[in-house]
Amino acid sequence: MATELLQVEDVSKRFRVRGRTLHAVEKVSFKLSPGKTLGLVGESGSGKSTLGRLALRLLGVDEGRVLFQGRDITQLSNKQLRPLRKDMQMIFQDPQASLNARMTVGRAIEEGLIIHGIGSKSDRKERVYRVLERVGLPFEASYAYPHELSGGQLQRVGIARALAVGPKLVVCDEPVSALDVSIQIQVINLLQELQQELGLAYIFIAHNLAVVEYLSDEIAVLYLGNVVEQAPAEELFKKPSHPYTQTLMKSVLKIPEPGSEEQSLSHIQGEIPSPFSPPSGCSFHPRCPFAEDICKRKKPEPHMVGTGHLVACHLAN
């Protein structure tokens, strides 16, 4: 047990919006070991970003526990959390929005070091230059303001800022979805190199399955705040067992291998239901092509269908 970096146990989060309750995340559990990557996949509004923020305690947890390095951080106050922050960082989807427009890039990267009192002034400067260089930016970039850099450069700054404090866990919240395709692969490669070098654990949030497949050791598929399927990456792509996962994979455009049979591209019918009033039983049943009577009445419990392969579906086995 002590080897786990992060344990999330039956975590739920609800938001109250104008008197109504939004079920953002429902009883989600997962474990993450050092140096591993967990991919979180799902449509917009499936609660994947919320889950990432719960894991970092950027949001308060309503139910369940979050253990970081074996320590329960669920009940810690914001003040008690602050020293822990240097071990858990986040990379944001929109680097421009996450950087302070009135702060130079170098100052933004140094900020974490200043907050945690790491190094003397010259040490910090040295460290900023080194981390900038590591993410592929010249040291001159530290004198630039965010609006003077391009999107790809800014995302490198976002990565540099998260890494400068030497974290063990990094939540990447769709770090490439705002970037050009040509830049995406560079940033993903960079993230992977850094993981190997520094032994980082990632929670990688994305709606792009191909990206997640490439990076993740384990993948959790979220639908309306519930984990519908969770498995090692290879297993999940070889044997997707939940109808939702299956349709998600069919919706990915792939270059066919020569001689393979023609595959039709399908998409999921309808929209994701309102999280204010999730459907009865299995929350996917209104859109599920295989839905039966039991799906409308009873909520499926996650059960094992393979080694480490969890599925929440009545029909999968």
Task: Using CB under 8 A, list all residues that contact another protein.
Answer: 53, 56, 58, 78-79, 81-83, 85-86, 88-90, 92-94, 97-103, 111-112, 115-116, 136-138, 140-141, 144, 147-150, 152-153, 156, 161, 165, 186, 189-190
Q: Please identify, using beta-carbon distances, which residue of 14 and 116 lies nearer to another protein.
A: 116
Residue 115, amino acid: I
Shortest approach of another protein to residue 187 CB, angstroms? Answer: 9
- The secondary element (H helix, E strand) that includes residue 88 is strand 88-91
Q: Please identify, using beta-carbon distances, which residue of 183 and 315 lies nearer to another protein.
A: 183
- Identify any residues that bridge with 218 across adjacent strands, giving them in sequence order: 38, 232
Tokens 């299956």: give the residue. Answer: 246
Over its C-alpha atoms, the chain yields an Rg (Å, rounded) of: 21
Q: Which of 101, 103, 113 is nearest to 143 (CA)?
A: 103
Shortest approach of another protein to residue 280 CB, angstroms? Answer: 32
Contact 233, 216 (CB under 8 A): yes
User: What is the biggest distance separating any 2 CA atoms in the chain, rounded to whole angstroms?
Assistant: 68
Shortest approach of another protein to residue 188 CB, angstroms? Answer: 12
Q: Please identify, using beta-carbon distances, which residue of 129 and 244 lies nearer to another protein.
A: 129
Q: Please identify, using beta-carbon distances, which residue of 100 and 251 lies nearer to another protein.
A: 100
Contact 86, 162 (CB under 8 A): no
End-to-end Cα separation, the chain, in angstroms: 28
| C-alpha to C-alpha distance for 167 and 163, rounded to whole angstroms | 6
Q: Please identify, using beta-carbon distances, which residue of 22 and 165 lies nearer to another protein.
A: 165
Shortest approach of another protein to residue 5 CB, angstroms? Answer: 17
Shortest approach of another protein to residue 103 CB, angstroms? Answer: 7
Quick one: angle between helices 105-115 and 121-134, nearest 10?
Answer: 120
- Identify any residues that bridge with 7 across adjacent strands, giving them in sequence order: 31, 67
Q: Please identify, using beta-carbon distances, which residue of 214 and 237 lies nearer to another protein.
A: 214
Q: How would you label 126-163 residue by residue, b for 16+ Cβ within 10 Å and e otherwise?
A: ebbbebbebbebeeebbebebeebeebbbbbbbbbbbb
Q: Please identify, using beta-carbon distances, which residue of 130 and 297 lies nearer to another protein.
A: 130
Shortest approach of another protein to residue 295 CB, angstroms? Answer: 37
Shortest approach of another protein to residue 316 CB, angstroms? Answer: 37
